[in-house]
Amino acid sequence: MGTTKLFAHSLRQNRIARLYKALGHPARIAILEYISKHPECICNDIVSDIELAQATISQHLNELKRAGLIRGESRGKKIYYSINIDKWYETHQISNNFFRDAQKVM
């Protein structure tokens, strides 16, 4: 597909694409579901439940953090993950607006 020219699209379009990219993998959905049910969990907790390699889980956690959907708080040598509730509500609003606006033109 080649590289995407981010400047060729609006800020809104880039935000929506970044959000849906983060949500676009079933492992990340599973991780979000796990964290929502087990706040303050660590990577090994998620690994034991989802049964993917620790390195794979870490990569998905980093993608979710980059999108702002989760937070990671360092305590000693461990990072505790939780849902970023403010971003969660913002995500809900962005999705609602996106689909509402698309529906207007149908």
Domains of the chain plus CATH, in order, are 12-97 (1.10.10.10)
**What residues have CB less than 8 Å from 14, skipping those under 6 apart?**
6
Q: Give CA–CA dist 26/82, Å, rounded.
A: 18
What's the pLDDT at 3? 59
Q: What is the CA radius of gyration of the chain?
A: 16
What's the pLDDT at 15? 85
Q: Are 67 and 19 in contact (CB under 8 A)?
A: yes
pLDDT for 12-47, tens place per residue? 888 888 889 999 999 999 999 999 999 999 999 999
1 pLDDT higher than 70: no
pLDDT for 85-97, tens place per residue? 999 999 889 888 8
**What residues have CB less than 8 Å from 85, skipping those under 6 apart?**
none
Average pLDDT over residues 41-60: 96
What's the pLDDT at 8? 82
Share above pLDDT 90 across residues of the chain, in percent, rounded to a whole number: 64
The first and second tokens of residue 60, run together, are 């998905």
Q: Are 58 and 43 in contact (CB under 8 A)?
A: yes
